[in-house]
Amino acid sequence: MVNRLSIVRNFAYLFISSERSRGYGIATRISIPIILLSSLSITYILPGKAPLGIHILFILIYEFILIWRFTRIKNFVSSLTLVLIIIAIGFAINILSPYIGSPISIDPLSLIVYSARMAGIIIALSMIFQLISLREIVYIAERLGLSKLSSIITIAFSQLPLTAIQFSEAITTIRLKYGRRGLFLAIKPLIIETILNSRSIAESLYLYGLPKIQKPILFNPRRDFPLLISSIVVSITPIVIPLEVYIQPLG
């Protein structure tokens, strides 16, 4: 029970920015998740094509290396756990599909490939929040003329990990005290914590305002070039090598 709830807590850490990536240019830190997402999504725009598992595996390994390098160990464990959970959910749906009137189930190997690709997409999306701080998001939005919207988005995103952690703690406490029958009781403390956090944020903004945003490093050639080149090499494999080799026809 506690282990399952710790997954929620660990998943929240996937959306917390890491200080280890600050020495790299913001352009590179934005480009890498976009490059990975584009590579993982290429077969969505190619009708009748499906990705080969080896390409997905390369990208997942590369994502794990980046997370290990730039963030804390909890993020790495959370990413690995997320992949396994998504694959397990895919298998469960595949097994139950004949009994719930869904289309014919696919073979297990293809199911693993599709599930791994979805996990890779989610991890790449989470890397946007891990590699880019909220202050940098505010800076980018302000440069685009969206200063008010950037403040709202920043405050909202900053509370998502905290809300997930509080949800995990509330569920754990209720289960230990009341068992499964009292899960609905976790709603009340979660709402109260959310209200208290919102009030604290409102008071802080009223007293101090938003912090001054410093201009981030745009590009650091010495550190950014190896990272960009490696991400491009991993991601454009199905382009450098003929697509027939890395993409198989469906059915």
Asked whether residue 250 carries a pLDDT value surpassing 50, the answer given is: no
Q: What is the mean pLDDT of residues 46-54?
A: 63
Confidence of residue 184 (pLDDT cuts 50, 70, 90): low
Confidence of residue 193 (pLDDT cuts 50, 70, 90): confident
* pLDDT at residue 247 in the model: 46
Q: How far apart are CA 126 and CA 25, in angstroms?
A: 18
Q: What is the mean pLDDT of residues 69-86?
A: 69
Percent helix / strand / coil, the chain, rounded to 5: 80, 0, 20
Work out the mean pLDDT of the chain and round it to a whole number: 73
pTM over 0.75: no
Asked whether residue 180 carries a pLDDT value surpassing 70, the answer given is: no
CA distances from 177 to 3, 113, 156, 173 (A): 17, 41, 31, 6
Lowest average pLDDT, out of 29-33, 134-138, 222-226, goes to: 134-138
Of 228 and 169, the structure prediction assigns the larger pLDDT to 228
